[in-house]
Amino acid sequence: MSPLPEQLRFGNEAFGGTKPLKFAFIIGPIDSLKAYKDSTVAMMRAGERHGHDVYGIECQTLGWRQSETNRSTVFGQAVRLRTRPDDHDWYRETGREWLPLKTFDAVVMRRDPPFDFEYLAATWLLDRAESEGVRVVNKPQALRDHSEKLAITEFSRFIPATVVASDMQRIQSFIDDERDVILKPLDGMGGQGIFRVHRNDPNRNSIVETLSQLGRRTIMGQKYLHEISQGDKRILLIGGKVVPFCLARIPKAGETRGNLSAGGTGVAQELSKSDLEIAETLAPILMKRGLMLVGIDVIGDHLTEINVTSPTCMVEIRQQTGFDVAGTFITALEHLCETS
C-alpha cells in the first residue's frame, strides 16, 4: 500500500468520482457498539454519506469452506445496515445473509481487543480471503506482526526509558533505576492492568509478582511521564497521512491513566511540532506494511503505544473540531479500491 496522494481531499469532503461500493466491517456483537462514541459506527455512517452500501459481519461468524467443485471461500454472516442519527437506536437491518467476503469491495477488520485466539483465528481466515483477492484493512499479517505495546521498540528514539521482561529481577532493577514507573501487561487495553510503581512503594513486590505471574509472563515497564497531566494524546494516521488534530485524554483527579474508559476527559487539540515529527515518521512506514488506520499514543514528546486493532477517538475529534476523521478514512478506502 502506498500513501494517499497529496491532491486527495483530506478532511471534511468526500472524494468524488467513485462508484457506489460495498464495505463490510468485521465487528464484535453489533448490539455492543456504542454509537455515541464508537469510531466503527462513525465510519459506517460516513460510508453511507459517501453513497456506499455498508454491512456488519460479527467476527464469530467468519468461516471457510471448500466445495465439491474444489472452490474455497471465506464467508461470514453479513448484516446490511441503514444507520440512523439516534445514538440509542442507531441502525436498522435491511437484510442478513451468509456471503463470501469476495462479495465486498473492501473488508475492514474492527473487532476490539483482546488479541486472543479467536482474534488470531480471524486474521488467519482473513489471510485466506486476501488470497482470494479481497481487500482487507488493516492487513491481517500486519495485525499479527504489530504488538500494540512492543511495536514502539522499532522507533526507540521516540520512546521513554522502557524495559520488556518476565524476569522479576530485571523489572525490579528498572524500578530502582527510574524510581517512578508504569508497569503494564502486553495484551491489555483501555488502561486495564496498568500500575504506577514508585521505588519505595510498599506494594512494589506484590505488583511485580502479580503482573509477571511470578516471572512466567512478559510485561512492559516505562518511566512515568509527568506530562500525562496534560493528556495521553491519541494521534490518528490514515492512509499514510496524519490527521491534524489529536485527542488528549486527561486523567481524572487522583488517577494515573488517561484512558476514556478509565474516566479520562478527551480534549481535541492541534498537533505539536514533536507530535508531527513522530507521526510523520511512522505514517508512511506503517502504511507500506498494510496498516492503513493506526492510532499512536504520545505523552509529552514520547511515543508509548502503536494501536492497530481498532483505533478510536474519531467521534470526539469531529465533535470538538469539525474535522471528519471517519469521512477521511472512507475517502482513503475509496482510493484503495480505485487503485488496487
Point out the catalytic residue in the list 178, 307, 318, 324. Answer: 307
Point out the catalytic residue in the list 257, 316, 324, 334. Answer: 257
71 catalytic? Reply is no
Point out the catalytic residue in the list 184, 204, 233, 241. Answer: 184
Question: How far from chain centre, in Å, is Cα 32?
Answer: 17
Point out the catalytic residue in the list 37, 45, 149, 318. Answer: 149
Point out the catalytic residue in the list 38, 232, 275, 297. Answer: 297
Angle formed at CA 91 by CA 315 and CA 106, multiple of 5 degrees: 70
178 catalytic? Reply is no
217 catalytic? Reply is no
If 0-12 CB within 10 Å is exposed, 13-18 middle and 19+ buried, where does residue 262 land?
middle
Cα separation, 79 vs 56, in Å, equals 5
- The DSSP annotation for 137-151 comes to ES-HHHHHH--TTGG
Three-state secondary-structure class, residue 99: strand
Return the residue matching grid coordinates 440512523.
84
Point out the catalytic residue in the list 105, 232, 305, 316. Answer: 305
Point out the catalytic residue in the list 139, 204, 223, 234. Answer: 234
Cell of 306: 502503536
149 catalytic? Reply is yes
138 catalytic? Reply is no
CB 231 within 8 Å of CB 250: yes
CB 52 within 8 Å of CB 20: yes
Q: Where are the alpha helices (DSSP H) in 65-191?
A: 117-131, 140-145, 168-178
6 catalytic? Reply is no
Cα separation, 260 vs 249, in Å, equals 7
Point out the catalytic residue in the list 37, 249, 275, 324. Answer: 249
Active-site residues, by number, are 149, 184, 234, 249, 257, 297, 305, 307
